[in-house]
Chains A and B, each alone.
Chain A
Amino acid sequence: MEWVNAVIQGILLGGLYALLATGLSLAFGVMRLVNLAHGDLNILAAYLALVVVTATGANPLLSLVLVVPVMMIIGFLLQRVLLNSTLGGGVLPPVLVTFGIAVVVQNVLLDVFSADSQGLDAGPLENASVTITGQISVGVFPLLTLLVAVGVLLGLQFVISRTQLGRALRATSDDIEAARIVGIDHRRIYGIAMAVALGTVAVAGVFLGIRTTFGPSDGPQRLIFAFESVIIGGLGSLWGTLVGGVALGVAQAVGNQINPAYQVLSGHLLFLAVLAFRPSGLFARRTARET
């Protein structure tokens, strides 16, 4: 029963990882940009929520109405001002610039908020649970997280496949020259894509902030979890990212069940195993490996 419980907790945790990974997957899918500041921006969103909560006394979930738009504006500006000019010039510039952003964000947070761990308090919601059978009960909050993750993915899927913006995103991703010929301003599209990516990062940041504590130096680990979800699921597939997140969550929960010290390690080992035996991911879209 303990093991079944661990797997269920892992699946729910995986929803959070999928939410965390969506922005990374989107930025790579649209602009072929690997954002090394992803994790630190995620932590930044959690601190923004903390500021809003401390100032207003509101529930952290309510702070999303402020944190998400702010992160979207940050994303749009980052892309337009810094990141657009790194694209198209080889692998080095985007990696170096986003690494620089990561270091700057991390150390500014350290300077402003100190190294102390913080948490977001969502009140009684955090401890509420639904009993399924005698020995298995599921927390309401983790369940909500998974539902939000699926909701965000469904929303994104809808935008990408059904709307004018989605068409422009797909066109720019497939062939930037052709997209420009038909009048798409790729720089603006990239800005919007990064805004959407950081919007999902903000949601993930607040939910993770409620679930666990966070500190200024936790960004890299968030980046790594997001990245592992993307690779395990398969590049270029949003639903693959969900599968990857869930697989990572289950691996970590099972590792934790064996020995709490192995939680993070077992996630890494699953990632390495996927790299070795199924490098295109569990759920790869065929066209995703063209670049």
Chain B
Amino acid sequence: MTVSATTSTPALPPFRVESATPASRAVAVVGLLLLAALTTLPAWGGSGTMKLLIEFFTLLALAQMWNLLAGYAGLVSIGQQAFVGLGAYGLFVCTDRLGLHPLLAIPVLAAVVALIALATSLFAFRLHGGYFAIGTWVIAEVFRILVSGAKEVGAGNGVTIQAVAFLGPQGRLALTYWLALAVGSGSVILVAWIMRSRLGLALRALRDSEAGAESLGIDVFRTKLAVYLIASVGAAVAGAIIYLLLLRIQPNAAFSVDWTARMIFIVVIGGLGRIEGPIVGALVFFGLRETLADFGSLYLVVLGIVAIGLTLLAPRGLWGLFLARFPMVSFGSQRRLVMGPDVERRQAT
């Protein structure tokens, strides 16, 4: 990604700003190859593998969205389960009640959730810091209670999505897998793209100093609102895909704070404010969960202690520890200034 070279001003030496690095190009190539291989999985993989990967990719997407919100915009939400639940019920309403194909249902529910998130932001954005965290939690609770009382969607018992039966069990699994793969890899690409965009620059400035960013002409409110809307819609889409696999929706499970707890653990373990963080964190999270599966609630105790320890001792998470030892920038979202006589020549190519 090359941003203009202002060679017209004679006082300035030729320069350009670039963000891609050899490492980031290598990651892009390897990532595309991996993505191509994973796309063919339904042709040769077992259904157990596919279900595990669906869970992995949807959790990765949820964690990426939470990282965007908390790690980049400083909006620590404990209410993202509101949007997971809305995604789940949105899918039910669109498929079972409106008769839409799941592929059409997802954009429709995404648009509706964007409007709902705009409405909830009116309340949540009155609060800051830790109080924003609890405020978003209250909003999620309001949705849970309202849905638990709505007979149209089965009240407290919940509903089962039935209208997708026409896909057949194998067809539904393959479709869900591809959607999960798309939302998982899409969330990584989206965050990488955002961080390379104007919005990403604004977020970086904002993270360093809110007052400083404002004095540079950045609209802090609109920047944060944009991130909140993107993260909320992202969580809803991931939630819809999760429930396209599960089919059975219950309000207490769909609007459970456990969704956000998972996002937090994945991001904190992997590394806050880094695109790589949620990927590393999701891998560690799945590893821990499989090893500690027999210990019941103890596994959450371990996760909690690990999260506390990392926040205090290594606030950039495992990926931060890795980067400190092997500096590299794999997604090329950091800008560097390239100066010197060869700039002109390289630009021509």
Contact = CB atoms under 8 A, between A and B. Distances in A.
Contact of A91 (B74, B126, B304): B74
A25 to B, nearest CB: 11
B319 interface: no
Given A90-B74, A96-B268, A224 B301 contact: no
B163 to A, nearest CB: 29
Chain A interface category by residue count = 35 or more
A82 B312 contact: yes
A94 B71 CA distance: 14
A88 B139 CA distance: 28
Interface string A64-107: 00000000000000000010011001111111111111111011
Secondary structure class of chain A's binding surface, majority of residues: helix
Contacts of B149: 261, 265
A135 to B, nearest CB: 30
A78 to B, nearest CB: 11
B266 to A, nearest CB: 12
B312 A85 contact: yes
Nearest to B307: A100
B142 interface: yes
Interface stretch (B15-23, B96-104, B164-172, B292-300): B292-300
Interface stretch (B27-35, B128-136, B231-239, B275-283): B128-136
Of A32, A82, A103, A110, chain B has the most CB atoms within 10 Å of the CB of: A103
A228 B138 CA distance: 9
Interface in A172-187: none
Given A36-B133, A93-B315, 19 more contacts: A28-B130, A33-B130, A36-B134, A85-B312, A86-B311, A92-B71, A96-B76, A96-B307, A97-B308, A97-B312, A107-B297, A107-B301, A227-B134, A231-B135, A264-B141, A264-B145, A268-B145, A272-B139, A275-B123
Interface of A: 28, 32-36, 82, 85-86, 89-104, 106-108, 110-111, 220, 223-224, 227-228, 231, 235, 261, 264-265, 268-269, 271-272, 275-276, 279, 291
Interface of B: 70-71, 74, 76, 78, 122-123, 126-131, 133-135, 137-139, 141-142, 145-146, 149, 257, 261, 264, 268, 272, 296-298, 300-301, 303-305, 307-308, 311-312, 315
8 contacts: A36-B78, A36-B133, A86-B312, A96-B76, A96-B308, A111-B297, A111-B301, A275-B135
